[in-house]
Amino acid sequence: MNSTRAYIYIHIAVFLFGFTGILGKGITLESGPLVWYRMAITLVSLLFFPKIIQKMAAIPWKTVWYILGVGTVVAAHWVTFFAGIKFSNVSIALSCMGSVALFTSILEPILLKKPFRWQDTFLGLLVIVGFVFIFGFTSEDMYLGIFTAILSAFLAALFGTLNKGLVAKHDVYAITAIEFIAGVALLSIALPIYLHYYPAVEMIPSMTDLGLLLVLALLCTTLAFTLTLQSMKVLSAFSTALAINLEPIYAIVMAAFFFSEYEQLNLGFYAGAVIIVMAVFLNPVLKTARG
């Protein structure tokens, strides 16, 4: 794995992640059952990978418990992300997710004992400026949605940084499977509580929903998630988080194509997109310049 292949992997993953919103809009299930099916189907698909059980068994139990903990963070990230959309809207939730790179620039030096880089913080702030141009400000009272989405961004930065410390030592597919075991277990425990407060929620997917769930789980989760972890064998957690900030741009363009939602393809969108893309491509340039 070299840096060129790593960047190709992460950008393929980001492109696949961009379909998540499109598929989520087409699936009629509520966010709780949707996330449970997404993680459960992904977990089942991972169990078909060659020698996956042996690779999981080869990881020391102390590390397994650590990976299980990271898996609960992954599940919490997805739940809070969908909750952020529910409490506000897609635009606000995605704009708040722009803070992932900024959080990662702070967490990576602390958790992985790496030198603090002011350039990383600058690029993280630059991405947030880009999202401000894309989505603008809202005058509506959506503080709960904003807080929940920012929490989701922090959780994404946290599990991304923790995964960076794991992929150098253990098999990517084994790590993913263990994390998703934790996620499915956590959601299985939480789902009865969710259904207690929302008893009318539909749990059985239609055939159309099932087809979309399979695409969401197999391509936009299993493949995208493992490609991301593969790229992190070479890239830093910050570089990965920065590239993932292209996901909302892909999502907006796809929404315009599939659902004729052209209202966000305005001057602000193009200005913000240029800023975010510039930040993404400045990152390797700055890393090369500082050696």
Structure tokens at 192: 């009865």
DSSP annotation of 47 reads: T
Q: How far apart are CA 235 and CA 101, in angstroms?
A: 14
Task: Write down the pLDDT at residue 120.
Answer: 79
Q: How far apart are CA 287 and CA 168, in angstroms?
A: 20
Number of domains in the chain: 1
Contact 185, 75 (CB under 8 A): no
* Per-residue b or e along 36-65, where b marks 16 or more CB atoms closer than 10 Å to that residue's CB: bbbbbbbbebbeebeebeebbeebeeeebe
DSSP annotation of 1 reads: -
- Structural domain boundaries, residue 69: 3-289
Q: Half-sphere exposure of 153 toward its Cβ, with a 13 Å CA cutoff?
A: 29
Q: Locate all alpha helices (DSSP H) within 112-223, ordered by sequence.
A: 118-135, 143-167, 172-197, 207-217
**Nearest to residue 98, comparing CAs of 130, 142, 136, 120?**
130
Distances (CA, A) of 266 to 74, 94, 130, 262: 33, 17, 13, 8
What is the sign, positive or negative, of the torsion defined by CA atoms of 234, 4, 51, 14?
Answer: positive
Contact 135, 129 (CB under 8 A): no
Contact 30, 202 (CB under 8 A): yes
Contact 101, 131 (CB under 8 A): no
pLDDT tens string, the chain, 291 residues long: the values are: 688 899 899 989 988 887 876 787 788 887 778 888 999 999 999 998 889 999 999 999 999 999 999 999 998 998 888 777 777 766 667 777 777 888 888 888 888 888 877 887 888 888 788 877 766 655 455 678 778 888 998 999 999 999 988 988 899 899 999 999 999 999 999 888 878 877 767 788 899 999 999 999 999 999 998 999 999 888 888 888 888 777 777 777 776 676 665 555 667 767 877 787 787 777 767 766 655
Q: What is the residue whose two structure tokens read 């030198």?
A: 115
Q: What is the residue whose two structure tokens read 């999502």?
A: 251
Contact 132, 99 (CB under 8 A): no
Distances (CA, A) of 8 to 36, 113, 224: 29, 27, 12
Q: Is the pTM of this model over 0.85?
A: no
